[in-house]
A and B are shown apart, each in its own frame.
Chain A
Amino acid sequence: MSRSPIERQIESSPIDGKIVFKIKGLTKVYGMGEIMVHALRGVDLDFYSSELVVLLGPSGSGKSTLLNILGGLDTATSGQVTYRERDLTRANEHDLTEYRRFHVGFVFQFYNLIPSLTALENVAVVTEIATHPMKPEDALKIVGLGERLHHFPAQLSGGEQQRVAIARAIAKNPEVLLCDEPTGALDLATGVVVLEALERVNRELGTTTVIITHNSGIADMADRVVHLSNGLISEVVQHTVKKRPGELQW
């Protein structure tokens, strides 16, 4: 009996409702001296295994700041963030690099692919250094790009490039996938394709997924929607029914 690589991945991913991130009293202040920007003013929030969370909020409300701290790209000013048993707020540069390397996948508004590498190689960049990666070809199949393995980024459309970025983010089998406005630079139809890819990864691999967006329509595909405003959580909405990306309206 032959099974698809995706089915195998499902078995190995625990969907246990356990806490992945525990955030307590998180603050972030930018700038020193006269002008201080309080980007986060005391955030308390937990993320659970395998859930898909959408972060909404006006521009400047601190969404990206929160996501970057979760992803180990930035450090908190005070408060605590733990990932599983790890205290990210106390981690040093070396630990954070290791954390990003093995546990987190990122997707950004700008795809940030390596222009000198083909789609396949852009994914291999990550699988090469991961401990339990999937095959790069399989990651690209998940995002529907199994046919474009040997094209360079410059030969791909924006949506295709973003899907390569997603394939690259998931190829290491990360426990969390952090996406900052993944559809921000795309048109509607392309955006849907990208969201479908994300939704599929979340559903089939059970990867905890956090998506920042300005588009409240997208919120309907989430398990939970977290609203940020002025550096604080203003509202958390739990969905019982999720919409498929194709059914979203915006």
Chain B
Amino acid sequence: MKGQVFAIVLIIVSGVATYVMLISTMNSLNQTRDRFYLEYGFAEVFASLKRAPEDLKTQISKIPGVEHVETRVVADVKLDIPGFDEPVTGRLVSVPDHGKPLLNKLHIRKGRSVEPLREDEVVVSETFAEAHKMSLGDRFGAVINGRWKTLVVVGTALSPEFVLQVRPGAISPDFKRYAVLWMGREALGTAYDMKGAFNDVLLTLSPAAKTSEVLIQLDGLLARYGGLGSYERKDQMSHRFLTEEFRQLERSSKVFPLIFVAVAVFLLNVVINRTIQIQREQIAILKAFGYSHLDIGFHYFQMVLLVVLFGVAGGIGVGVWFGKGLGNIYMEFYRFPYLIYELEWNVVMTAVLINLGSALLGTFHSLRKASMLPPAEAMRPEPPARYRKTIIEHLRLWHLLSQPARIIFRNIERRPIKSCLSIAGIALACAILIAAIFWKDAVDFMVEVQFKLSQKEDLAVTFVEPTSRKAIYELNGLKGVQYAEPYRSVPAKFRFEHRSYRTVIRGIESGSRLHSLLNTDLKPVELPPEGIVLTDYLGTLLGIQPGDQLTIEVLEGARPVRQVPVVGLINQYIGVMGYMDMNALNVLMREDSAISGANLMVDPLHQTDLYKKLIQMPRVVGAVVREDEIRNFYETQAEAFLFFTFIATLLAGTIAFGVVYNSARITLSERSRELASLRVLGYTRAEISYILLGELGLFTLVAIPLGLVGGRVICTYLAATMGSDLFRIPVVVYPATYSLAATVVVVSAFLSSLIVRHRLDHLDLVAVLKTKE
């Protein structure tokens, strides 16, 4: 009994630990984020624009509901880091020369903030400084508005605005190739011709303010100045990513622990049932001595209580431990000045209540039966088990089965519910593992689709502003460029009925070789010469179908507003946007063949030289090397993948082990007499092990395919609930994941059978035969 109780406690521990780990990590990150935002004045409304005079600030602050206004200059730059050959881009953000910023304040980690009016001083984001092992006083080159400049690092910092530091359009943070830099307002303004002007504005609102009203008014004010559309905090990049991550944690914290609770309750029920069965006579004697129904019921209730409390206590301990581990992994990505790790009381209470509640619900029937058992009946042995011929005996095959095999089948069929639940338990172990690690497969697949099937360029180059198509010739002329293909990218707000979404329209040349649009079967589709094609998820968000007219408000240049028919929906896992034929987009913009950038195919031999050249080209603001991006992605995620795979394997192993071990022990306890008889008749140890463990082997064999399918179902559910406009998770499970899950289950089942086998080998034949059945 001890072993079985231990196995159940272990499963409860696993369930509670998973729950505590996920929930406490989420709560901690959430609290940390809220506190960081509050302390460092994270803005509530954001807007970028082309250029507006500082006077506009007064008008903005008069918008009803606006509390504070902060204007800034923000610019994208190319960096040249000594000793690092790959292209690096950065975002330069101004800080006021006098006094601290009101909003999005910096948390200085090392050194100091910039001194007023110093043109060469910058504060560097901590992640970037760490990635390049920069120290205070280090220098590096930057191309600021086309002019080469040497900058000095005077400090490193964190900001609520860049908790997650992701380059716009990238799939994951890249600490090496993307930097956030802070520079004095005056110096930056001078460099970008923004003296007495700004191109970025932050607001906080009074509690009573209606955000949507403020956004409309702000957009109204900024429209003449090239406003790119204001947005509220929930659409801010870093904040969005955090929110999505919290949502995933929360979702997982509901799915996974539930599975553990279900399995634990099932096993608890089986064990309590068996205990009561074995202790029938004791119950009868106690009752004969005058113990009441309630006393007996309470005795077994205490057992359940003890198991659950031990499990929950252990689970909280392990969960806090895991939670801190997970928290630290998150802190690698999410830069907060501190992490508030705090286990909330309600988390503990929820764990206790859910586990205890389900345990009591699950064992209620057995407890009731035990407490109601009349003493006289309890004295009599349990009536003999009734066996029937099984359904499969009608098959011809039955006659070929050996007697031990028949024993296995008859026992399985005598307790169909228990058998099914055992199978379900093992299957869940398999499923849980798949569901916990499938997202690595999904991400692999996303990357594969996005960067091998869809975006096939080696290098993507962005221009400072829309440029004549002739720029392509210049690029093509560079040594190492094998092929260059232009693209146009236009920020726009899409409207359909009452729904709207701010994103970009990408113009692609017809017959593009480097950018394919994919349908749901991932087959390339031709981009029609007229109309717009939308990412299918965007179609759903806007509730728009091919054939409908989409209203497009362009947020660049002359800011035309146009009606364009939607001519198709395409599949894309990362981001959402619209695609148009480049000519059609140029026509829509009333411009001559302007381009925003180019995709290049590059000769690897001349790669490094090419990067150097690109840095020097004033028109080019940024260059992204696909391969680097993908490699970085895997590097940053590797540790997290490992952590999850490790924990999931541990947990799934626990379930499989627990279910198999418990079933084996119960069967052994119920059938030890029968097995001893067979030993007396001359059956070998291996042969009787076959009878006992064959049943479990069969369960495992049946459970694995069910578990694989079940795992996929859970993946589908998780993927469906976690999808957002940032990314959609494809339901892809690679064979390696299936086989890992199956292997973990088989190994755990095997290990637990070894333990049971050990007991079987030490069966005391004589003792068993001496006692009455």
Given the known interface contacts A115-B384, A116-B407, A126-B681, the answer about A110 and B773 at a Cβ–Cβ threshold of 8 Å is: yes
Does B98 make an interface contact (CB < 8 A)?
no
Most chain A Cβ neighbours within 10 Å, of B682, B687, B766, B771: B682
| Contact between A102 and B682, CB atoms less than 8 A apart | yes
Size range of the chain A interface in the assembly: 20 to 34
Q: Scan A96-116; emit 1 where CB is below 8 A from any B CB, else 0.
A: 011111101010101011111
A154, B383: Cα distance in complex, Å = 9
Convert B671-688 into 0s and 1s, putting 1 for each residue whose CB lies closer than 8 angstroms to a CB of A: 001101111111111010
A71 to B678, CA, bound (A): 14
Chain A residues lying within 8 Å of B387, measured Cβ to Cβ, are 115-117, 152, 154
User: B386 and A154: CB pair below 8 A?
Assistant: yes
Beta-carbon contacts of A123-156 to B below 8 Å, as 1s and 0s? 0111011000000000000000000000011100
Given A68-B766, A128-B402, A154-B387, does the pair A117, B407 have CB atoms closer than 8 Å?
Answer: yes
In the complex, the chain A residue whose C-beta lies closest to that of B388 is A152
Indicate if B406 sits at the interface (CB-CB under 8 A): yes
When the two chains form the complex, which single residue of B411, B683, B769 contacts A112, counting CB atoms closer than 8 Å? B769
Which residues of B have CB within 8 Å of A94? 684
Question: In the complex, A124 Cα to B681 Cα: how many Å?
Answer: 11
**8 Å CB interface, B395-444 against A:** 402-404, 406-407, 410-411, 414
Determine if B499 is an interface residue (Cβ-Cβ < 8 Å): no
When distances are taken between beta carbons in the complex, the residues of chain A under 8 Å from B736 are none
- On chain A, the residues within 8 Å of B673 by CB distance are 112
> What is the chain B residue whose CB lies nearest that of A150?
B389
| Residue B702 interfacial (CB < 8 Å) | no
A114 close to B384 (CB less than 8 A): no
B385 at the interface (CB under 8 A from A): yes
* Alpha-carbon separation in the docked complex, A112 to B772 (Å): 9
Is A106 a contact of B680 with CB atoms below 8 Å? yes
Partner among B406, B677, B682 whose Cβ is within 8 Å of the Cβ of A121: B406
Interface contact A125-B403, CB-CB below 8 Å: yes
> Could you tell me the distance between the alpha carbons of A230 and B414 in the complex, rounded to whole angstroms?
46
Task: Give the residues in chain A near B771, CB-CB below 8 Å.
Answer: 110
**A110 to B769, alpha carbons, bound, how many Å?**
7
Complex CA–CA separation, A140 to B132 (angstroms): 87
When distances are taken between beta carbons in the complex, the residues of chain A under 8 Å from B769 are 108, 110, 112
CB of B385 within 8 A of CB of A101, answer no
B683 close to A101 (CB less than 8 A): yes
Main secondary structure of the interface of B (DSSP, over half): helix
Q: Does A74 sit within 8 A of B, measured CB to CB?
A: yes
Picked from B404, B410, B680, the residue with its CB within 8 Å of the CB of A73 is: B680
Closest-by-CB residue of A relative to B679 is A97
Is B765 engaged at the interface, CB distance under 8 Å to the other chain? yes
**How distant is the Cα of A154 from the Cα of B388 in the complex, in angstroms?**
11
Interface residues of B in 714-773 (CB under 8 A from A): 765-766, 769-773
**Is A224 part of the contact surface with B, judged by Cβ < 8 Å?**
no
A154/B384 in contact, CB under 8 A: yes
Q: Which residue of B lies closest to A174 (CB)?
A: B682
| Residue in B404, B674, B766 whose CB lies within 8 Å of A115 | B674
Q: Which chain A residue lies CB-closest to B772?
A: A110
Partner among B406, B680, B682 whose Cβ is within 8 Å of the Cβ of A116: B406
| Closest A residue, CB atoms, query B386 | A154
What A residues does B402 contact at CB under 8 A?
128
**A123 to B, closest residue via Cβ:** B403
**Beta-carbon contact of A114 and B674 below 8 Å:** yes
Determine whether the beta carbon of B682 is less than 8 Å from that of A154. no
A residues in contact with B386, CB < 8 Å? 152, 154
Closest Cβ neighbor of A129 among chain B residues: B682
Looking at B679, B681, B687, B771, which has the most chain A CB atoms within 10 Å of its CB?
Answer: B681
Q: Are A115 and B681 in contact (CB under 8 A)?
A: no
Least CB separation from A122: chain B residue: B403
Complex Cα gap A186–B147 (Å)? 110
Q: How far apart are the CA atoms of A68 and B770 in the complex, in Å?
A: 11
**Residue A168 is within 8 A (CB to CB) of chain B in the complex:** yes
In contact, A114 and B765 (Cβ under 8 angstroms): no
Task: For the complex, give the distance between the alpha carbons of A74 and B679 in Å.
Answer: 12
Bound form: Cα–Cα A125–B770 in Å = 21
Complex-state Cα separation, A117 to B681, whole angstroms: 15
Inter-chain contacts of B679 with A (CB < 8 A): 97
Pairwise interchain contact B680-A117, C-beta atoms closer than 8 A:
no
Nearest residue, chain B, Cβ from A97: B684
Q: Which residues of B contact A116 (CB under 8 A)?
A: 385, 387, 406-407, 410-411, 414, 674
Smallest CB gap from B773: residue in A: A110
Residues on the B chain within 8 Å of A154, using CB: 384-387
A117 / chain B contacts, CB cutoff of 8 Å: 387, 403, 406-407, 410
Contact with A along B651-686 (1 / 0, CB 8 A): 000000000000000000000011011111111110
Q: How far, in whole Å, are A108 and B771 apart by their CA atoms in the complex?
A: 11
Which residues of the other chain, B, contact A104 by a CB distance below 8 angstroms?
682
- Residues in A with CB closer than 8 Å to B772 are 110
A-side contacts of B680, CB under 8 Å: 71, 73, 100, 106, 112
Interface membership of chain A positions 168-181, coded 1 if the CB is closer than 8 angstroms to chain B and 0 otherwise: 10000000000000
B281-313 contact mask (Cβ, 8 Å, vs A): 1 or 0? 000000000000000000000000000000000
B384 adjacent to A112 (CB under 8 Å)? no
CA distance A237 to B385 in the complex (A): 44
Return B397 CB to nearest CB of chain A, in Å: 16
Complex-state Cα separation, A125 to B772, whole angstroms: 22
Chain B residue nearest to A120 (CB atoms) is: B403
Report Cα–Cα, A99/B682, bound state, in Å.
7
How far in angstroms is the closest Cβ of chain B from A159?
16
- Which B residues touch A129, using CB under 8 A? 682-683, 687
Choose among B402, B403, B674 the residue with the greatest number of A CB atoms under 10 Å from its CB: B403
* CB closest chain-B residue, reference A169: B681
Contact with B681, one of A64, A110, A121, A125 (Cβ below 8 angstroms): A125
Chain B contacts of A73 at CB under 8 A? Answer: 680, 765-766
For A99, A100, A115, the residue with the greatest tally of chain B CB atoms inside 10 Å of its CB is: A115
B684 nearest CB neighbor, chain A only: A97
Chain A positions within 8 Å of B770 at CB level:
64
Q: In the assembled complex, which residues on chain A have CB atoms less than 8 Å from the CB atom of B403?
A: 114, 117, 121, 124-125, 128
Residues of A within 8 A of B407 (CB): 114, 116-117
The residue from A64, A98, A114, A152 contacting B677, defined by CB atoms under 8 A apart: A114
- Which residue in chain A gives the minimum CB-CB distance to B404? A125
Residues in B with CB closer than 8 Å to A125 are 403-404, 678, 681
Q: Complex formed: what's the CA distance from A74 to B771 in Å?
A: 16
* Nearest Cβ on chain A to B382's Cβ, whole angstroms: 12
CA distance A114 to B771 in the complex (A): 16
Instruction: Give CA–CA (A110, B674) in the complex, Å.
Output: 12
A98 touches B682 (CB 8 A): yes
* B341-392 residues at the A interface, CB under 8 angstroms: 384-387
Contacting residues of chain A (27-85) with chain B, CB-CB under 8 angstroms: 64, 68, 71, 73-74
How many angstroms from the CA of A153 to the CA of B673 in the assembled complex? 15
- Which residue of the partner chain B has the closest CB to A124? B403
Q: Given the complex, which residues of A lie within 8 Å of B683, measured CB to CB? A: 97, 101, 129
- Tell me the bound Cα distance from A152 to B679 in angstroms: 21
**Shortest Cβ distance from B408 into A: residue:** A116
CA distance A208 to B143 in the complex (A): 106
**A101 cross-chain contacts in B, Cβ below 8 A:** 681-684
| A112, B684: Cβ atoms closer than 8 Å | no
Question: Measured between alpha carbons, how far is A44 from B772 in the docked complex, in Å?
Answer: 32
Query: CB-CB < 8 A to A168: which residues of B?
Result: 681
A and B contact pairs by CB, cutoff 8 A, 30 listed: A68-B766, A73-B680, A73-B766, A74-B766, A97-B682, A97-B685, A100-B680, A100-B682, A102-B682, A110-B772, A114-B677, A114-B678, A115-B384, A115-B387, A115-B674, A116-B385, A116-B387, A116-B406, A116-B410, A116-B414, A117-B387, A117-B406, A117-B407, A121-B406, A125-B678, A125-B681, A128-B402, A128-B403, A152-B387, A154-B386
A-B contacts besides A125-B681, A129-B683, 9 pairs, CB < 8 Å: A106-B681, A112-B676, A116-B674, A117-B407, A121-B403, A125-B678, A126-B681, A129-B687, A152-B387
Pick the 7 closest A-B CB pairs, nearest first.
A101-B682, A116-B410, A100-B682, A112-B677, A154-B384, A125-B403, A116-B387
